[in-house]
């Protein structure tokens, strides 16, 4: 879409909503009237300036962090205005209806016509202002408090073939760190400490360490290397780890992926690139499989589950690390019924939703059949972690970042 068209559309949105601002402030004091009327255009000016900056230059090359925050501000501003416009439009509909009706009441006295002319509805106009303010306030709250409001979720999974010596094994899971988005290093450190207080026997990291570039994690290696467990930390890659979205190709792509794997190893993670490992205890063994990203639809399909599976055929229990939950229905369940459990992330729970008791809702559920929590089909299980970090919008609303403890039981 042309930059000119975008600016015109934004301008029309602002002008339309500004009519409600004029109506609401009509009887205010001159000072407050000026504050709200001039203040209304400040976010607009910043937003339009950001849009121009993005289209006339490369903001990522100037300051990536500033652009991320500006992009969030623009999105929040116009999303909020969209909700406000709904009420202004409803008000205009009722005013139009009243105007049409008034054509048939031209000779009637003012007492015989319901309402006072076709002035704006005070209720709907004020509702438009509230509807504009609430989403913007919620997004601000989601950044300030929701981005790092880590929640510990514990689940128990029964596996009939689990060897006796592994009964009660506690697996910690972290997913979707997206280190390139962090803005509060202290809070991130607190999330890692929360996991370590649980003393997991083994830890899985299920992909998306960065947004695009391996160097994004450099400042966070000293924090995430603190994730330790007696039986090791195992990891794999997610769709954002390859640099595909940053347009990396050829040698730049290869170097980025190589540097990402180096970062995993520096943190002490055993990164599984279509590989497997055996965990042994008291003569019993279970297999850990890890594949590169494989997602249904448009997502990258670097994963080769046949390679990761090879050599694990006789393992009593097989646990798979695969970033994208759509992989479960697409390949795992139909072709590998002896993979007991798969650990995924990817969806972030859309970073927005509602979870009350057993009820959960998020726009993510309209894209993914399995999008958050534990799922079971026959004797197979899938756990989808809601993510440790965030992407795009630097916050979370009703869908806090997650640290998971999965306890394996015989039965």
Angle subtended at Cα 145 by Cα 142 and Cα 146, rounded to the nearest 5 degrees: 50
CB-CB contact of 223 with 261 (8 Å): no
What are 130's two structure tokens? Answer: 């509230």
Determine the longest span between alpha carbons in the chain, in angstroms. 98
Q: Which residue, chain included where needed, has tokens 């689990």?
A: 162
The share of the chain scoring above pLDDT 90, in percent, equals 68
Residue 64: pLDDT band (50, 70, 90) is low
**Separation between Cα atoms, residue 87 and residue 92, nearest integer Å:** 9
The residue count for the chain = 411
The number of angstroms, rounded, from the C-alpha of 327 to the middle of its chain's C-alpha atoms is 19
Lowest mean pLDDT among 31-35, 44-48, 110-114, 216-220: 110-114
Q: Is 123 helix (H, G, I), strand (E, B) or coil?
A: helix
Q: What is the DSSP letter of 250?
A: H
**C-alpha radius of gyration, the chain, whole number:** 27
- Per-residue pLDDT tens over the stretch 99-136: 787 777 655 444 444 444 456 777 888 888 888 888 88
Q: Is 35 helix (H, G, I), strand (E, B) or coil?
A: helix
pLDDT at position 61 over 70:
no
Half-sphere exposure of 218 (CA within 13 A, CB side): 7
CB-CB contact of 311 with 289 (8 Å): no
User: What is the average pLDDT across 182-198?
Assistant: 96
Lowest mean pLDDT among 60-64, 145-149, 183-187, 237-241: 60-64
**Separation between Cα atoms, residue 215 and residue 245, nearest integer Å:** 15
- Per-residue pLDDT tens over the stretch 265-307: 999 999 999 999 999 999 899 999 999 999 999 999 999 999 9
Q: Is 285 helix (H, G, I), strand (E, B) or coil?
A: strand
Residue 1: pLDDT band (50, 70, 90) is low
What torsion do the CA atoms of 243, 249, 251, 256 make, to the nearest 10 degrees? 0
The number of angstroms, rounded, from the C-alpha of 54 to the middle of its chain's C-alpha atoms is 23
Task: Give the model's pLDDT for residue 108.
Answer: 47
Residue 26: pLDDT band (50, 70, 90) is confident
- Per-residue pLDDT tens over the stretch 326-379: 999 999 999 999 999 999 999 999 999 999 988 999 999 999 999 999 999 999
Name the nearest CA neighbour of 171 among 192, 190, 199. 199
- Per-residue pLDDT tens over the stretch 209-230: 999 999 999 999 999 999 999 9
pTM of the model: 0.83
151-410 classified as CATH 3.60.21.10: yes
Domain regions of the chain by residue span = 3-145, 151-410
């Amino acid at each position: 879409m042309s930059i000119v068209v975008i600016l015109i559309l934004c301008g029309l949105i602002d002008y339309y909503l500004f009519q409600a601002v004029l109506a609401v402030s009509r009887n205010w004091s001159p000072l407050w009237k000026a504050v709200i009327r001039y203040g209304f255009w400040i976010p607009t000016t910043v937003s339009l300036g950001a849009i121009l900056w993005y289209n006339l230059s490369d903001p990522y090359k100037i300051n990536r962090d500033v652009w991320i925050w500006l992009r969030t501000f623009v999105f929040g501003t116009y999303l909020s205005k969209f909700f406000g416009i709904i009420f202004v439009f409803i008000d205009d509909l009722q005013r139009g209806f009243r105007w049409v009706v008034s054509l048939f009441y031209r000779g009637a006295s003012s007492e015989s016509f319901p309402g006072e002319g076709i002035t704006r509805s005070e209720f709907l106009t004020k509702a438009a202002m509230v509807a504009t303010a609430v989403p913007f306030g919620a997004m601000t709250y989601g950044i300030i408090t929701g981005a790092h409001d880590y929640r510990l979720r514990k689940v128990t999974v029964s596996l009939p073939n689990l060897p006796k010596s592994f009964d009660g094994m506690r697996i910690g899971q972290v997913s979707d760190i997206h280190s390139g988005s962090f803005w509060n290093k202290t809070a991130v450190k607190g999330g890692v400490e929360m996991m370590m207080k649980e003393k997991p026997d083994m830890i899985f990291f299920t992909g998306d360490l960065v947004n695009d570039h391996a160097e994004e994690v450099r400042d966070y290696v000293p924090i995430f290397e603190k994730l330790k467990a007696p039986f090791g930390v195992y990891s794999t890659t997610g769709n954002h780890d390859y640099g595909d979205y940053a347009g990396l190709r050829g040698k730049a792509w290869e170097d980025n992926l190589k540097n990402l794997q180096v970062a995993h190893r520096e943190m002490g993670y055993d990164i599984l690139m279509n590989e497997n490992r055996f965990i042994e205890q008291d003569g019993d063994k279970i297999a850990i499989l890890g594949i590169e990203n494989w997602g249904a639809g448009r997502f990258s399909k670097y994963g080769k589950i046949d390679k990761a599976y090879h050599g694990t055929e006789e393992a009593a229990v097989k646990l798979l690390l695969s970033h994208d939950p759509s992989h479960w229905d697409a390949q795992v369940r139909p072709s590998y019924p002896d993979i007991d459990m798969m650990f995924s992330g990817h969806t972030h729970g859309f970073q927005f939703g509602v979870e009350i008791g057993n009820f959960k809702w998020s726009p993510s559920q309209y894209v993914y059949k399995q999008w958050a929590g534990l799922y079971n089909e026959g004797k197979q299980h899938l756990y989808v972690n809601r993510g440790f970090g965030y992407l795009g919008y630097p916050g979370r609303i009703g869908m806090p970042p997650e640290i998971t403890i999965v306890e394996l039981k015989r039965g």
